[in-house]
Structure 1
């Protein structure tokens, strides 16, 4: 079985209170910190996380750290870092969605891995532009990177491998693409779990994600649980749409 990708929306941040988009790169609120700690206490695969990946914005890095690094023993904390991916940043050009320059983020070395960040990641130009065609390209590239990471641990750990991805409410909708867009917005610190339809494919357009039955059950309960046949149909539909 392929590794599981757990996609998390950040904890409540300052701009979420009153929707003040003019706050530059806002931090998580006190309530958001509590949400992060609660997620860290309830996430069932904490010991089997092989990769912790996050948007480089302040609120997503804080969420990744407080929810998935702070709860583990000190010895494990030293072995776990956050891989910053500019592709996972939020979509708009508002100050709340513009991150810090690479040079400043590099000062967080020790827990934040910025090796994949481009110097232009926070300029909202090129593939990082706040325009839907570029956002879709960025989501496709993010899925390809995540698929490569998942493929790297699949042979050793298979379905015991769990990758955690912390991103933003709007961008997540592009990241998960069809068919889950119709299932609604993520709440702060909500996570949903996915597997790649074609883990070993080379075409970026085949790097689709399908929500697991277990994740679907968490949100909708046993009365709305997909049957195995429905799950298979969902995978076939995803494959046919690429």
Structure 2
């Protein structure tokens, strides 16, 4: 039986399009603490998480470390997976070399991170076909896991466009089961009513299905994406707080 999945968007980063792989802002760190408190007090499912998967980007590694701290201290394994990185190829959405991250986050397992990291080429290219295929790769990987409950920390643009067609506020989460499918059909997730009706677990996220806008992908591919995923989104994937200069 496939696992139940808790999808978490990273907390607010100290963001500017030109800042490579930014860290969390002070508010982002506060959001992580609020997330942990909420999960521990209001989502019994979170206490059953058997594995944590995170994008290898700095803001997701930091959100994982701060927001899921009690699980990590308990010994729940944490693995970094390049498949869960953000869509965009802007500097802010391009990861750092693992050699830079390992000393900062030594408790995370990097052994399965694709050797292409942090390149935005091949399966990580900022194109419709690569993004949709990468989303299916993520879902197939989750579907075959033996764990019953898995938490994933990723990014709004990728989660929205390739995984769940839902919007995520910073440090908010949604809970999903896998939809029953016939042989040959693509994998899909079905959201728990608990988070769907509330606008995310914290109630900070926009309700309803997401849509696709031209800003989500390169202009020449926007129409193809809309046809494939059935709508438009507002392209908030890389919206964060501008770095003070």
TM-score, normalisation: structure 2: 0.73
Name the structure 1 match of 2:155. 168
C-alpha separation in 1, matches of 2:183 and 2:62: 33
- Cα distance per residue 1:80-104 (max 9 Å; x no partner): 3321110110011111111122343
Of 206, 211, 214, the residue aligned with 2:186 is 206
3-state SS in 2 of match to 1:166? strand
C-alpha separation in 2, matches of 1:55 and 1:164: 12
3-state SS in 2 of match to 1:35? helix
Name the structure 1 match of 2:48. 48
3-state SS in 1 of match to 2:190? strand
Query: Structure 1: which 5+ runs fail to align?
Result: 154-160, 222-240
> What pairs up with 1:145-164 in 2 under 5 angstroms?
145-149=141-145, 152-153=146-147, 161-164=148-151
- For the 8 Å contact 1:197–1:206, the answer to whether it is kept is no
Query: Structure 2: which 5+ runs fail to align?
Result: 204-229, 231-245
Shift of 1:202: 7.5
TM-score, normalisation: structure 1: 0.74
| Paired residue total | 198
Shift of 1:189: 0.6
- For the 8 Å contact 2:50–2:77, the answer to whether it is kept is no
Shift of 1:133: 0.9
Runs of 4+ residues deviating >3 angstroms: 102-110
C-alpha separation in 1, matches of 2:105 and 2:28: 24
Which structure shows the bigger proportion of residues in helix conformation?
1
Name the structure 2 match of 1:126. 122
- For the 8 Å contact 1:102–1:118, the answer to whether it is kept is no
Name the structure 2 match of 1:39. 35
Name the structure 2 match of 1:197. 179
- For the 8 Å contact 2:5–2:151, the answer to whether it is kept is yes
Alignment of 1:25 with 2:4, yes or no, is no
3-state SS in 1 of match to 2:144? helix
Of 219, 223, 237, the residue aligned with 2:199 is 219
Shift of 1:108: 5.5
C-alpha separation in 1, matches of 2:144 and 2:36: 26
Of 133, 139, 151, the residue aligned with 1:137 is 133
3-state SS in 2 of match to 1:164? strand
Name the structure 2 match of 1:13. 13
Alignment of 1:80 with 2:62, yes or no, is no
